């Protein structure tokens, strides 16, 4: 006779066997899918020994040519997926963005330097979605973008007037141009001098951050226990650098925010991203210290990301025009024909300037400002083209490799805007601003600023090569710095007004904007 105990034993045995069988099936299924091919991996260090300190995008691009457009590597014990193809980047980070929108843990830049509550480094979740909503409302609606046009036009005129006064310091004028636009939009502060206090704070914070290291690139990011090393110990130099950077990052968070709060109390605050958020949170009764830190982080991220990349793109444009004078002449001719010489180009002229549009696209492509982007992270295991992608893998889009893909861009090292007259060529704006839910929310604002400045320069200025003591023209080499942001190494060029009429136009317009 079968007892209740016997039945329980039998059911338990069946359940156990079933679990074992299901586990074996799951394990066999997953193990039957191998990782993507990749470089040799050594115990403990993985493939780190194969990566150079500088220009890592080039080595990763070589891996792509050797192993394929999706490569598996190990950076110490962290699994890494390197993507060198736009199609794969789109498939994973856009079409499967729910799984590829997270970030690795950035110990150096977030936990030690203090870049907390910055959307660029936030893990994917509720806080990230809130910050992205703030950004979308401020930078992606047509009404918001149109509201910034007067600031952008004014700063183009200020830049051109500064060139007339001191053409040899054109690079610093470019930095001021991008910083002034973002500073006013973010904090309502209009920059009126080259030694502006708040721009100085932001520049120092950016410089010290870059010097201390890039996100996901330092040992402490792979071995969190290194956080505990005292700064005075051998090997603790990264903590000393991070502490210096952290001081300026904290000042960037606090100083402009406090300026906005003080102006709001006085009733003199100008409309801005920060003021709008403070008003909204105060109205809802949520302006606590925690929420203030969220606003500070969001504003600092907008300023830091927008200023550096826009200035870098413009410096790349300047280098390209010096090296390719025929391109610059065609650009000037188109603007002459469409806009004339009585005014500066405006956003409404853009559709009628197809060659100008091609020049902007080729500037983005020729040398992408952020070659490797900021790594994504996979939230859960995934399969792609019969390859296994593990959970918590660092996913690195090699934007530089995509921009130099010979299958898409013929002779990619050459600056050839005409390539974009064909409709089947990938628009580099689809890659340089990032992917999926991590795409730069200020891309349209940056793109408008770049259009207005490029077309304004071409309408009023001639850019030519410098000459040496023998009167021989100097062609600057296409050399770029290594790092998270890659910009042209310092070079010389000559900038002069195209004509007396162009010079008078710039000076007259500057008088108008100065009086406003």
Least confident range of 218-232, 250-264, 353-367, 468-482: 218-232
* 3-state SS, residue 395: strand
Domains, the chain: 35-515 (1.10.630.10)
The whole-angstrom separation of Cα 418 and Cα 426 is: 13
436 touches 97 (CB < 8 A) = yes
Q: Average pLDDT of the chain?
A: 90
pLDDT of residue 304: 85
pLDDT grade, residue 516 (50/70/90)? low
CA 318, 451, 458 angle in degrees (round to 5)?
50
Tokens of 62: 């070589």
Backbone torsions φ then ψ of 78, nearest 5 degrees: -90, 120
* 3-state SS, residue 389: strand
pLDDT of residue 512: 79
Helix axes 325-339, 289-323, angle to 10 degrees: 110
Sort strands 382-384 and 387-389 into parallel, antiparallel or unpaired: antiparallel
481 touches 491 (CB < 8 A) = no
131 touches 458 (CB < 8 A) = no
The whole-angstrom separation of Cα 122 and Cα 117 is: 6
pLDDT grade, residue 214 (50/70/90)? low
Backbone torsions φ then ψ of 461, nearest 5 degrees: -125, 150
pLDDT, average across residues 89-101: 96
pTM for this prediction:
0.90
pLDDT at 123 exceeding the cut of 50 = yes
* 3-state SS, residue 319: helix
pLDDT at 175 exceeding the cut of 70 = yes
What is each CA distance from 405 to 69, 373, 395, 400, in whole angstroms?
11, 17, 19, 9
The whole-angstrom separation of Cα 358 and Cα 489 is: 24
pLDDT at 298 exceeding the cut of 80 = yes
pLDDT at 7 exceeding the cut of 80 = no
pLDDT, average across residues 159-171: 95
331 touches 316 (CB < 8 A) = no
Tokens of 503: 């010079």
pLDDT grade, residue 192 (50/70/90)? confident
What is each CA distance from 8 to 2, 17, 21, in whole angstroms?
10, 14, 20
428 touches 361 (CB < 8 A) = yes
* CB atoms inside a 10 Å sphere around CB 440: 20
What is each CA distance from 341 to 120, 351, 455, 507, in whole angstroms?
41, 18, 12, 14
Helices (H), 196-272: 197-212, 219-222, 237-266
pLDDT at 23 exceeding the cut of 60 = no
pLDDT of residue 225: 81
pLDDT grade, residue 216 (50/70/90)? low
CA 480, 483, 489 angle in degrees (round to 5)?
25
Note the pLDDT tens digit of each residue in 455-513: 999 999 999 999 998 889 999 999 999 988 899 999 999 999 999 999 999 999 988 77
Count of CA atoms in the C-beta half-sphere (13 A) of 46:
14
Sort strands 382-384 and 461-465 into parallel, antiparallel or unpaired: unpaired
pLDDT grade, residue 227 (50/70/90)? confident
* 3-state SS, residue 26: helix
The whole-angstrom separation of Cα 466 and Cα 473 is: 6
The whole-angstrom separation of Cα 413 and Cα 365 is: 10
Closest by Cα among 185, 364, 154, 146 to 277: 185
Tokens of 212: 């201390």
Closest by Cα among 313, 352, 359, 358 to 336: 352
pLDDT, average across residues 90-115: 94
pLDDT, average across residues 372-392: 95
Contacts of residue 429, defined as CB under 8 A and 6 or more positions apart, other chains included, come to 361, 364, 443, 447
DSSP lists the bridge partners of residue 384 as 387
The whole-angstrom separation of Cα 35 and Cα 242 is: 35
pLDDT, average across residues 71-85: 95
pLDDT, average across residues 9-14: 44
pLDDT of residue 514: 75
Flag whether 440 is marked binding: yes
Instruction: Output b/e per residue, 196-235; b: 16+ Cβ within 10 A.
Output: bebbebbbbbbebbeebbbbbbbebbbeeebeebeeeeee
pLDDT at 84 exceeding the cut of 90 = yes
Q: Which residue has better confidence, 280 or 513? A: 280
pLDDT grade, residue 20 (50/70/90)? very low
What is each CA distance from 51 to 73, 390, 404, in whole angstroms?
11, 22, 20
Least confident range of 218-227, 449-458, 460-469: 218-227
């Amino acid at each position: 006779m079968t007892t209740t105990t016997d039945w329980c034993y039998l059911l338990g045995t069946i359940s156990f066997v079933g679990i074992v069988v299901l586990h074996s099936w799951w394990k066999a299924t997953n193990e039957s899918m191998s990782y993507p091919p990749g470089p040799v991996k050594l115990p403990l260090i993985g493939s780190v020994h194969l990566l150079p300190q500088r220009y890592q995008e080039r080595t990763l691009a070589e891996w792509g040519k050797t192993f394929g457009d999706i490569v598996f590597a190990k950076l110490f014990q962290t699994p890494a997926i390197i993507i060198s193809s736009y199609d794969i980047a789109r498939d994973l980070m856009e079409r499967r963005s729910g799984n590829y929108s997270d970030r690795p843990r950035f110990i150096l830049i977030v936990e030690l330097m203090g870049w907390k509550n910055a959307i660029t480094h936030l893990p994917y979740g509720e806080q990230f979605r809130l910050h992205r909503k703030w950004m979308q409302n401020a930078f992606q609606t047509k009404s918001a973008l149109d509201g910034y046009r007067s600031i952008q036009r004014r700063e183009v005129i200020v830049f051109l007037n500064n060139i007339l006064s001191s053409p040899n310091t054109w690079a610093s004028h470019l930095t001021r141009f991008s910083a002034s636009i973002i500073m006013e939009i973010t904090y309502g502060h209009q920059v009126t001098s080259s030694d502006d206090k708040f721009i100085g704070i932001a520049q120092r914070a950016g410089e010290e951050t870059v010097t201390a290291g890039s996100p996901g690139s330092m040992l402490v990011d792979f071995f969190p226990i290194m956080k505990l090393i005292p700064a005075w110990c051998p090997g603790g130099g990264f903590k000393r650098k991070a502490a210096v950077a952290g001081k300026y990052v904290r000042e960037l968070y606090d100083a402009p925010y406090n300026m906005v709060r003080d102006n709001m109390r006085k009733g003199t605050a100008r409309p801005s991203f920060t003021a709008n958020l403070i008003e909204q949170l105060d109205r809802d009764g949520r302006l606590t210290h925690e929420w203030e830190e969220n606003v500070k982080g969001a504003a600092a991220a907008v300023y830091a990301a927008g200023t550096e990349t826009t200035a870098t793109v413009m410096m790349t444009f300047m280098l390209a025009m010096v090296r390719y004078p025929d391109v610059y002449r065609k650009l000037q001719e188109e603007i002459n024909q469409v806009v004339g010489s009585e005014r500066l180009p405006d956003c409404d002229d853009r559709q009628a300037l197809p060659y100008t549009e091609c020049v902007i696209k080729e500037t983005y492509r020729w040398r992408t400002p952020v070659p490797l982007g900021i790594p994504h992270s996979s939230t859960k295991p995934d399969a792609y083209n019969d390859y296994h992608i593990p959970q918590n893998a660092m996913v690195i889009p090699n934007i530089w490799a995509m921009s130099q893909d010979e299958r898409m861009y013929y002779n990619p090292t050459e600056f050839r805007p005409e390539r974009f007259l064909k409709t089947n060529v990938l628009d580099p704006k689809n890659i340089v601003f990032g992917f999926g839910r991590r795409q730069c929310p200020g891309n349209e604002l940056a793109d408008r600023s770049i259009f207005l400045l490029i077309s304004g320069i071409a309408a009023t200025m001639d850019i030519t090569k410098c000459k040496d003591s023998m009167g021989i023209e100097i062609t600057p080499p296409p050399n770029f710095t290594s790092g998270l942001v890659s910009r042209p190494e310092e070079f010389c060029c000559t900038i002069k007004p195209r004509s007396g009429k162009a010079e008078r136009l710039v000076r007259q317009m500057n008088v108008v904007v100065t009086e406003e």
